[in-house]
Chain A
Amino acid sequence: MRTMIQLIHVSKQYDQRPALSDVTLEIDKGEFVLLMGPSGAGKSTLLRMLIGAERPDEGQIFVHQKNVTTLKPSDIPHLRRKVGTVFQDFRLLPKKSVFDNVALPLLVQGISSADIRRKVTEALRAVGVEHKRDQLPAGLSTGEQQRVCIARAIVNGPVVLLADEPTGNLDPVLTAEIIELFKLINARGTTVVVATHDPLVMAQVNRRVLTLSQGRLLPEHRVLV
C-alpha cells in the first residue's frame, strides 16, 4: 500500500530506437522525486506512460494500485482524474478565463456548480493567483500561467502530481517559486514527480533523484547532468 508508482522491466521503442530500456523503479506514496536526464533521455515518455497516454512494449506499470498497462481505454479518464499533470508549455485554453481553465477537470466529471466554485477558488488560492480568476491566460505572466496550470492539476485533489519540465520556460526566480509550490503540494500528501534537465531545480529540491540516460535508469547514487 505504500507504493504509489511502480515500473517493472518497462521498455518502449519508437521506430526501432529505444526510448526506454528495461526500467524498473518504485516511488512511494508521499515522495517527491526528480526525474533527471538530458534531453531525449526518455523522461517525457516515462511520464506519458504513467497516465496511459503511451503503452510500453514490454513490462508492467502500476499507478495507485492500478495496472496502467492493462487498463481499458474507457478507464483511462478515471486514472487521469487521480493524476494531475503540468507541462512546460502550460497547455491552457486561450479563450477561457483562468477560472474556467481550472474548472475544466471538474466540469468533465459533472460536478455541481457550487462544488466547482469552491474547489477552483481553493486551488487558485493555493497557487496564489486568486486575483486573476477572470482574466484570460494571455493576460498573465509566464510564472502566473504556470501557477494556473498547477491549480488545474491539483483541483481534483490528485494522489499524484506529474510535471514535465515545469520550469523550462521560467527564469531562476520563478523556477524557485514554482518548486516551492510543488514542495507545499507534496507536504499535503500528494506524491510529486518532476521531470527536468535543469540542475538548478535539483539543487533546489534536494530530494530523491532518478536519472535516465538514453532510456536507461542509472543507479541512484550516480547523479549526472
Chain B
Amino acid sequence: MRTLSYLLRESWVNMWTNRTTTMVAILTTAFTLACVGIFLLLYVNLRAAAGWLQDDIKIMVYLDDRLASDSVTEVEQNLRGDRAVASLLFISKEQALGEFKAQFPSESHLLDGLGQNPLPASFVVALSPSFRSPDAVMRWADRVRQVAGVSKVDYNQDWIDALATVIRSIELVAIGIGVILSAAAVTIIANTIRLTLFARREEIAILRLIGATTSFIRIPYLLEGAVLGALGSTLSLVMLKFMYELFRQQMRTTGRFAGLDNLMAFFPPSVCVALIAVGMGLGFAGSFVSIRRFGEAKA
C-alpha cells in the first residue's frame, strides 16, 4: 500500500515539478493527435455515407422487348426465388414511358417521333443487406445478365466506386499521417520523460544502490508517460469535438448542405475510449523508449 502510494506520489511529483514541460507535452500531443483525429473523423463519416449509398443501391433489370408476358412472370419468379433479392418492383413499358415524360417533359417529343414506345419493361431490385457490397452486387448483376429474357442489368455502381476510391485514399492518408504523427507523439512524450529521468538521475542511481528492482524504478516514469498520453488524447478529443460542433453550426447558419449537418457524426463513446487508450499506449511507449535509452547510458 505504502509502496503504491509512493509510486503514485513520485509520478505526481515528477509532473508537478516539471509542470511547464508537462503542459507543453500534453498540448503538443493533443494537437498532434487532433490532426490524426480530423482525418479519422472524415474517414468515419465518409465511410458511413458510402455505406448508406451502398445500402440504397437499386439495380435495374431490363427485359427483352419481345418477351411474352408469361415469360415476364417466369423472370419475376426467378428473381423472387433469389436469396439475394430483398424486394422487387415491376415497371412496365407504359410506366417507364410515363416516368420519362414526367421527368423530362421537354424531351418527350423525341419519343413521340418514334411512333412506338422504345422503353423496355424492367424490374427494380433491392438486394438483401449481405449482398450489398460492391463485389457482391457485381457478381449478382453478372449472373442475372445470363438469365433468358433479360437484356440488360444496370446500377449506379460507378460513382459509388469512385467514392470508395476516395475513401481508400483518405484511409491511406489517415494511416500515413497517423503513423507519422503517432511517432511524433511518442517522441514528444519520450523527450519529456527523458528530461525527468535526467533531472532525477542521482535519485535513480541511489534507488539502484539500495536494492530497488528495475520495474520499481521504472513504474513512476511509465505511469507519467501513460498519463501524459491519456491527457493529450483526451484534450485532442475535446478540441475535435469543439471543431466539429463549430463546423456543424457553420453549415447550419450558411444554409448550404442543409440536412447534411444531421448526418455528420462524432466518434461514438466506445471509439473515444479506444482513442484515449491509444494515446495512453503511445505515452507508455514514449516513456519506455526513454527509459531503455537511459538504462543503456547508465554507468
Which of A51, A77, A93, A110 has a CB less than 8 Å from the CB of B203? A93
B213 and A74 contacting across the interface, CB-CB below 8 Å: yes
Binary per-residue interface labels of chain A (92-107) against chain B in the complex, 1 for a CB within 8 Å, 0 otherwise: 0100000000001101
Contacts between the two chains (Cβ within 8 Å), count: 53
Binary per-residue interface labels of chain B (184-227) against chain A in the complex, 1 for a CB within 8 Å, 0 otherwise: 00000000000000000011011111111110100000000000
Whether A93 contacts B206 in the complex (CB less than 8 A), given A73-B214, A113-B1, comes out as yes
A43 within 8 A of B: no
- The interface stretch among A60-68, A78-86, A181-189, A214-222 is A78-86
A108 within 8 A of B: yes
Whether A77 contacts B211 in the complex (CB less than 8 A), given A91-B202, A93-B206, comes out as yes
Measured in the bound complex, the distance between the Cα atoms of B1 and A113 in whole Å is 8
Measured in the bound complex, the distance between the Cα atoms of B86 and A157 in whole Å is 81
A81 and B211 contacting across the interface, CB-CB below 8 Å: yes
B116 within 8 A of A: no
Residues of B within 8 A of A112 (CB): 1-2
Chain B interface residue count, Cβ-Cβ cutoff 8 angstroms = 18
Residues of B within 8 A of A113 (CB): 1-2
Tell me what chain B mostly uses at the interface: helix, strand, loop, or mixed: helix
B3 within 8 A of A: yes
A109 within 8 A of B: yes
B211 and A109 contacting across the interface, CB-CB below 8 Å: yes
A116 within 8 A of B: yes
B209 and A51 contacting across the interface, CB-CB below 8 Å: yes
B1 and A91 contacting across the interface, CB-CB below 8 Å: no
B155 within 8 A of A: no
B216 and A74 contacting across the interface, CB-CB below 8 Å: no
Which of B1, B212, B299 has a CB less than 8 Å from the CB of A108? B212
Residues of A within 8 A of B6 (CB): 107
User: Nearest Cβ in chain A — how far from B74, in angstroms?
Assistant: 79
Which of A53, A78, A79, A104 has a CB less than 8 Å from the CB of B207? A104
A152 within 8 A of B: yes
Chain A residue, CB-CB nearest to B202 = A91
Residues of A within 8 A of B3 (CB): 107-108, 110
Residues of B within 8 A of A81 (CB): 210-211
In chain B, residues 112-143, which have Cβ atoms closer than 8 Å to a Cβ of chain A?
none
Measured in the bound complex, the distance between the Cα atoms of B212 and A152 in whole Å is 13
User: Nearest Cβ in chain B — how far from A202, in angstroms?
Assistant: 26
Measured in the bound complex, the distance between the Cα atoms of B164 and A170 in whole Å is 79
B2 and A105 contacting across the interface, CB-CB below 8 Å: no
Residues of A within 8 A of B206 (CB): 91, 93, 104
Binary per-residue interface labels of chain A (171-183) against chain B in the complex, 1 for a CB within 8 Å, 0 otherwise: 0000000000000
B2 and A74 contacting across the interface, CB-CB below 8 Å: no
B216 and A91 contacting across the interface, CB-CB below 8 Å: no
Residues of A within 8 A of B202 (CB): 91
Chain B residue, CB-CB nearest to A78 = B211
Residues of A within 8 A of B210 (CB): 80-81, 85, 104-105, 108, 152
Residues of B within 8 A of A108 (CB): 3, 207, 210-213, 216
B203 and A80 contacting across the interface, CB-CB below 8 Å: no
Binary per-residue interface labels of chain A (148-169) against chain B in the complex, 1 for a CB within 8 Å, 0 otherwise: 0000100010000000000000
Measured in the bound complex, the distance between the Cα atoms of B213 and A77 in whole Å is 6
User: Nearest Cβ in chain B — how far from A80, in angstroms?
Assistant: 4
Binary per-residue interface labels of chain B (258-299) against chain A in the complex, 1 for a CB within 8 Å, 0 otherwise: 000000000000000000000000000000000000000001
Task: Report 18 cross-chain contacts, Cβ distance below 8 Å, ordered by A residue.
Answer: A51-B209, A53-B209, A73-B214, A77-B212, A80-B211, A85-B210, A91-B202, A91-B206, A93-B203, A104-B206, A104-B210, A107-B2, A108-B207, A108-B210, A112-B1, A112-B2, A113-B1, A113-B2
Residues of B near any A CB (own CB < 8 A): 1-3, 6, 202-203, 205-214, 216, 299
